[in-house]
Structure 1
Amino acid sequence: MSAAVCGSKRSFFEDIPSSPSASVSKKLRRCSPSSPSSVRFAPLPSLLDHLQALFPHMDPELLERALLECGNNIDTAIKRLQELHLGAADATGEKMGPVEELGTTAEQGTVTNNGEAADTTAQIPSAPETLPVDGAEWVDLFVGEMMGASSVDDAKARASKLLEVLEKSISEHVAKEAAQSFHKYGFRTGRWKFDARSCAVQENMMLKEQIQVLIQENTVLKRAVAIQHERQKEYQDKNNELEHLKQLVSQYQEQLRTLEVNNYALTMHLRQAQQSNSIPGRFHPDIF
């Protein structure tokens, strides 16, 4: 049984056309003897998807056969495929870009058969040679680094390194803009003092105009207060006159009542006098 498996391993890696040398194929055949790779198992979909995310340019069939030959040990398969990829790059004379190197220099974490990732020590990536020029490129760079991280510690290390590079880039950009602004406003040639004087003169003129406006508004307010005071005085005089008239009316009413009472009393006295002086049967000599 083991002889048949070893023969199948030999036939699989000898059929790879992209192998640059026989040494690379031998490295791919070095699977862990302690792993359950003596019997072929179908590769888990999660492991195959993880390999496709790490090696998007490789043939999916090649990745599946590599997992089968290594007994679904993704750590060993990743190492062997990295060696194969690096060997092919050295043979063709190609060089990976700075962002791609950041994703491949870190050591990938091991994944168990249940799909759980085990933490491994990762190498801190180096800063890219060409920095992004806008926010979208920085976001793409951060996303690429986080996707290439093998563990939480690796992701923290990558994020810390990129944040240092971003902080340095922002500081340099701010210093450059400050130097340009000083040069623009004539700080070095002495024109900055002239601009300061002109600004002070303009500010003084604006303050004078504001003072004139405030004086005019104050005059208007004084006039309005004087008019309001006069109206208030007239209103008070009218109120006093009204109170005086009310008192006169009360006095006249009292006098009228007194006169009415006196008139009634005189009328009664007149009637009584007429009744007492009248003689029946005889007329008054002055009248008749």
Structure 2
Amino acid sequence: MGEDGFEQCFACNSASGEPATNNIPKDGSEWVDLLVREIMTSSGIEDARARAFRALDVLEKSIVAWANVEATKNFHNESMILKEQVKLLLGENTILKKAVAIQHQRQKEFEEKNQELESLKQLLSRYQEQLRKLEVNNYALAMHLKQAQQGSLMPDRFHPDIF
């Protein structure tokens, strides 16, 4: 491949600064073929060493470029997933806020009903006491009336105004 072959193999796009991947080997066997071709076309040990160094340098750059592309894809995918999760959590949060507001309103109504119930219990207690007193008074009056009626029927007792 030679020096021009490596530069062709891993040329950078001038606009984006990213490597052009159209001439880069795609898998391990293509990388082995590239390395073998470079070594076979070398003129000696130093040339073979330089060619192997350049081939490994291109391999390293392609791995880094691939890793960057994959990391960017993964970051984008994770970002999209997290955005979707945030959207779902915000929706659930809204629902929970509504539920808490409803529960708060119900609790407030419950406390108001409890206060009303306590007031009614106290009122009932007062009315029961009042009823008991009225029943006692009624019984006492009934006894007085009965005694008064029995007293006027006694023969030895005369009405003082008549005689």
TM-score by length of 2: 0.49
Q: Which is higher, the Rg of structure 1 or of structure 2?
A: 1
Higher relative contact order, chain-length normalized (CA < 8 Å, sep 6+): 2
More helix by share: 2
